[in-house]
Structure 1
Amino acid sequence: MHRLFVAIRPPRAIREQLLALMQGISGARWHSDEQLHLTLRFIGDVDRHRAEDVAAALGHIAFPQFEIALRGIGHFGDLSRQRQLWAGVSPHRDLEKLHAKVDSALRQIGIEPDRRAFLPHITIARLNRNAGPIDAFAETHGGLSSDPFAVGHFALFESSLGREGARYETIARYPLA
């Protein structure tokens, strides 16, 4: 089985900016450079034939290049139990349109649509039960921003879980026109 997702890798300068933030929360599992991405669509476990269908379907997507920028810090989970810490991105419109195209291409080959609302973000840490409070981190970095950066392609990734966390391998890259 292949655990797949579709994502955008931010450029090196943006990843370095995010990596520089990663401290100040005890028990946080900070993402490595190789793990930083903006998920367009999580697909999940599929067999080899379905993985090939996914790769082919994504190759038919036509979409123009666009720009986004880092904007703010947020978290998933409620106030008593945050699970993930993320960097936001803006504007959302082109990302939402590209997400819809990816979702449509996958539905055409029989993959169920994503039922969750699409919230564009780059996860920077996973927070376990013993993680310290994020208040000081959020206050310090809540105004996170970057210069706009070009999104010139998206990619299909395979995720493998190991002792050191998730490892991501690029399966295919899809240029934007």
Structure 2
Amino acid sequence: MPRLFTGIEIPPEIGLALSAYRGGLPGARWIDPENYHITLRFIGDIDERMADDVCSILGDSRWREPITVTIEGLDTFGGGKPRAVFARATGNGELADLQAEQERMMRQIGLAPETRKFIPHVTLARLKNVSPIDVADYMAARGHFAKLTFTFDRFVLYSSRASVGGGPYVIEAAYPLG
């Protein structure tokens, strides 16, 4: 079974704007814009029975309002040993509430709790053995970031195949909001 996670699709025009930040960082593996997304709940590698349970319970989502998201700046994960460059996203608390609902659902069907804190973001590049100084220079050169805003009215269940990060991702199911 492929690796599964829920997420929010990034509209093409937002993806195009984010793709302007590609390049200028030696050693970065840039994510293709068609694979940009905001992960809500990582599920992982599961068997077919559990995948059916995931699909079924996500269909019971009570969230019925479209959510507006603002992408408002660049950041990194990893501190002194950077491992990713990402664009920060906010959703006025609604994004965190939707993620929390999905976390409860996944626990209800027996999946282990997610141990990482939810930080809404769009990964732009994965970093391995990239100099922290190069990352700092990259971030300093891109200090001005025009906010990008969009509203989404569905979340999706993605699958990913074994690869070196960054996709390709496949939409297995979509769940409308509103």
- Name the TM-score, length of structure 2 as normaliser: 0.92
Q: Is the CA contact 2:82–2:130 (under 8 Å) kept in the aligned structure 1?
A: no
CA-atom RMSD in angstroms:
1.7
Give, in angstroms, the shift of residue 24 of structure 1.
0.4
Distance 1:50 1:107 in 2: 12
Q: Is the 8 A contact 2:67 2:91 kept in 1?
A: no
Rounded to whole Å, the distance in 2 between the matches of 1:92 and 1:83 is 27
Kept after mapping to 1: 8 A contact 2:7/2:38: yes
3-state SS of paired residue (1:155): strand
C-alpha displacement at 1:121, in angstroms? 0.5
Partner residue of 2:96? 96
> Could you tell me which residue of structure 2 aligns to residue 139 of structure 1?
140
Task: Tell me by how many angstroms 1:137 deviates.
Answer: 2.0
Q: 1:119 maps to what in 2?
A: 119
Per-residue deviation at 1:135? 1.7
1:30 maps to which residue?
30
The equivalences for 1:49-128 within 5 A come to 49-63=49-63, 64-79=65-80, 81-128=81-128
Residue in 2 that maps onto 1:15: 15
State whether residues 86 and 122 of structure 2, in contact with CA within 8 Å, keep that contact through their aligned partners in structure 1.
yes
Q: Deviations over 1:6-53 (max 9, x none)?
A: 010111111001111101001100000222110001110001111111
User: Could you tell me how far apart the structure 2 residues matched to 1:20 and 1:50 are?
Assistant: 39
8 Å contact kept, 2:30–2:126: yes
SS of residue in 2 equivalent to 1:78: coil
Provide Cα deviations, 1:74-127, integer angstroms capped at 9, x if missing partner.
111122x10011000123511100000111111111111212111111100001
Question: What residue ranges of structure 2 are gaps of 5+ in the alignment?
Answer: none
Q: Tell me, yes or no, if the aligned pair for 1:72 and 1:141 is still in contact at 8 Å.
A: no
User: Separation in 1 of the partners of 2:167 and 2:12?
Assistant: 20
* Counterpart AA for 2:79: D
Corresponding pairs, count: 176
Question: Which structure has greater strand proportion?
Answer: 1
The verdict on how the C-alpha distance between 1:5 and 1:14 changes in structure 2, with shifts beyond 3 A counting, is: same
**Residue 154 of structure 2 aligns with which residue?**
153
Rounded Cα–Cα distance in structure 2 between residues aligned with 1:71 and 1:140: 16
Q: State whether residues 15 and 34 of structure 2, in contact with CA within 8 Å, keep that contact through their aligned partners in structure 1.
A: no
In 2, Cα distance between equivalents of 1:93 and 1:103: 15
> Counterparts of 2:141 and 2:96 in 1: how far apart (Å)?
29
Q: Percent identity?
A: 35
- Relative to structure 1, the CA distance from residue 66 to residue 164 in structure 2 (aligned partners, 3 Å threshold; closer, same or farther) is closer
Q: Is the 8 A contact 1:14 1:146 kept in 2?
A: no
Of the structure 1 ranges 87-96 and 6-15, higher mean CA displacement relative to structure 2 is found in 87-96
